[in-house]
Amino acid sequence: MRGFVILLAMLSAGLVGGVTWSQAPAPEPGKTETITACTACHEATTYTTKNLTSAQWAEMVDQMIGKGAKVSDADYDKIVGYLARNYGVAPVPKGG
């Protein structure tokens, strides 16, 4: 029993097997870039309350770049992808 308690304490402290319970999950792809680019001028609710298709999000990001939003070529697809995944058009429920 004592060995089990010691092992349990070591596991919770992350001393066995390289596992630590305090490891944060990896950030969602595009989230940081979206927050940085969009909240430089807007509240997050400006985009979190919309439901657009991927093409519509791309058009919206293009419009914001035209108004001065700082979005690098490397971040463009990440931002559009993040917005489409998280704030895309919800599918219509079957039968409704």
**Mean of per-residue pLDDT scores for the chain:** 82
Q: Which of 72, 75, 64, 74 is closest to 38 using CA atoms?
A: 64
CB 34 within 8 A of CB 82: yes
CATH number of 26-87: 1.10.760
Q: pLDDT class for 7, splitting at 50, 70, 90?
A: very low
Residue 12: the pLDDT is 55
Amino acid type, 54: S
Residue 35: the pLDDT is 95
- Say if residue 93's pLDDT is above 90: no
Domain extents in the chain: 26-87
Paired tokens of 1? 């029993």
Q: What is the mean pLDDT of residues 76-92?
A: 90
pTM: 0.69
- Sign of the alpha-carbon dihedral angle for 38, 40, 41, 43: positive
